[in-house]
Copies of this chain bind each other. A is one copy, B any other.
Amino acid sequence: MARRSQTEVAVLGALSVAPMTGYAVREAIRDVLGHFWSESFGQIYPTLAALEGEGYVRRVDKAAPYELTGVGEARLKELLAEPAQRVPPRNGLMLRLFFGRQLGPEACRALLRDALGDARRQLSEYAAPRAAVSAEGGADAPYALITIAAGEHTARAAIAWAEESLAELGES
């Protein structure tokens, strides 16, 4: 039995915030959840069609945005309560560093410098959404802040790790 798709969760979740078109669902996922989730059109449209067939979402006419139905909201709660699928890890950076001897110290330092830059940029990118969510408040704010905090902690850990590892590889 293959891993079950969690696309429905993401799509229903997006529609639970506000009714929107499939296109907008993708924008929302990219912009708001982009740091820990992604969906492509090839997933979103078939999923929306299936959800519509099951009565979890509806649109008043073929050109209107999708909106969540009552059963749809119940379905979302149900799916959220299921245990999160854990994806088998596949970290290409670590794979390369682990076999770093084959690659040479300078190339590894380059990888670490890239990772450091990425982590710093990511950390800076959390400032804006954090400020926006804090200012806006609302019942969803605490939960959004928790996911933002996760990103910040992860980014800071990556920064500390990369700096430390660069020093150990005889930072040039």
Contact = CB atoms under 8 A, between A and B. Distances in A.
Interface of A: 6, 9-10, 13, 16, 33-38, 73, 76-77, 80-81, 84-103, 107-108, 111, 139-140, 142-147, 149-150, 153-154, 156-158, 160-161, 164-165, 168-169
B168 A160 contact: no
What copy number does this chain have within its complex? 2
A87 B138 CA distance: 32
Contact of A103 (B81, B103, B142): B81
Contacts of A38: 88-90
Contact of A98 (B97, B144, B158): B144
B101 A139 contact: yes
A137 B10 CA distance: 46
A97 B144 CA distance: 8
A144 B87 CA distance: 23
A13 to B, nearest CB: 4
B143 A168 contact: no
Nearest to A111: B84
B147 A157 contact: no
Contacts of A154: 154, 157-158, 161
